[in-house]
Amino acid sequence: MNPSPNSFPLRALAHGRTGDKGNRSNISLIAFHPELYPVLEAQVTEAFVQQIFAGRHPQTVTRYLLPRMGAMNLVLDGVLDGGVNDALNLDAHGKSLVFLLLQASIDVPPALQSLLVHQKT
């Protein structure tokens, strides 16, 4: 199945930061331009994020909207294999998880595509 011509990776619309505490990852997503925020708000839902991280089996995903900042905060519980001190894998920190989210694609209306930072890959 070919992707939609209006489909772009999230990294073209936003940047992100990630933190972790115990078995919880905290991911922020910040729109590059205020006009792109409604696109993020409409499509980067809790269900969307749950699907992106399905392989890590998050117990819950909670989204906190920050429209005046053009941002959202996503809290994923139970996604770090128990956390840094309990996990056996090499990267139990959640700091790299934002890149998994930024690779996900969403649809961007043609009228807003001139605001995208990166080219389609």
Domains and CATH numbers, the chain: 7-108 (3.30.70)
Question: What pTM was computed for the model?
Answer: 0.86
Question: Which of 43, 45, 53, 41 minimizes the C-alpha distance to 6?
Answer: 43
pLDDT in tens, 2-23: 678 899 999 999 999 988 888 8
Q: Closest Cα to residue 31, out of 8, 51, 50, 52?
A: 8
Q: Report residue 27 as tokens.
A: 């991911």
The one-letter amino acid code at 29 reads L
β-bridge partners, 106: 8
Instruction: Render pLDDT for 58-76 as a digit per residue (tens, 0 to 9).
Output: 999 999 999 999 999 999 9
* pLDDT given for residue 21 in this prediction: 82
Closest CA to 31 of 65, 64, 72, 61: 72
Asked if 107 and 4 count as a contact pair (C-beta separation under 8 A), the reply is yes
